[in-house]
Amino acid sequence: MTPEEFAERANVSRETLDRLKEMDRVLIDWSARHNLIARSTIDDRWARHFLDSAQIAPLLPDETKTIVDLGSGAGFPGLILAAMLAEKDVHVTLIESTGKKAAFLVEAGRAMGLSNLTVIPERIESVGLDGAPDIITARALARLDKLLVYGHGIAGKNTRYFLLKGQDVEGELTAAAKSWHMDVIKHPSITSPDGIILEIGQLERG
């Protein structure tokens, strides 16, 4: 998939695509020295990583103003959402405890010209926020029950979760249901037949 094909599938503006191309430039530069994404996925990164992340954006509630991305790694989905939602004044906070990855996120965000971005280089458990986010996202970070523990420490009553999950999603939901009550909506992935975006709300400990 080319960047232009991505832009058409994801329905992003030329300005947003330019920002994402800047992210891609920094990503490729850093990936030559650091293991930010699997080398086997680099050639297909615009579909495997960029589009996979971008598909969250149209699912978000219109009133969304704050997003927290857990374990942001190489910026998927957090940096993608920050670029796509910059014109809507949505602020995105990226939490990443690995120093090199956090440094990449800062450099990429600067290259993208994003003013709606905060990078917190700390462990999720130690992060304190001024207010609860509207949305929590995560991709390829941990199993669902662990993600909900992470998120619950910073979430509010009305926080919704959008979590990119793979073929083991049913097993993860079953395990998480032993400790949590929640409303779940399953959105099929547009990039993988086995992929699901879990939308979770009304989360309470069981």
- Residue pair 147/182 in contact (Cβ under 8 Å)? The answer is no
Q: Tell me how far CA of residue 101 lies from CA of 31, 50, 70, 195, in angstroms.
A: 10, 17, 13, 25
- What is the second-level CATH architecture of the domain 3-205? 3-Layer(aba) Sandwich (3.40)
Domains of the chain, residue spans: 3-205
Whether this model's pTM surpasses 0.85: yes
pLDDT by residue for the chain (206 residues), tens digit each?
999 999 999 999 999 999 999 999 999 999 888 888 888 788 889 999 999 999 999 999 999 999 999 999 999 999 999 999 999 999 999 999 999 999 999 999 999 999 999 999 999 988 888 889 999 999 988 999 999 999 998 999 999 999 999 989 999 999 999 999 999 999 999 999 999 999 999 999 88
User: What CA–CA distance (Å, rounded) separates 155 from 134?
Assistant: 8
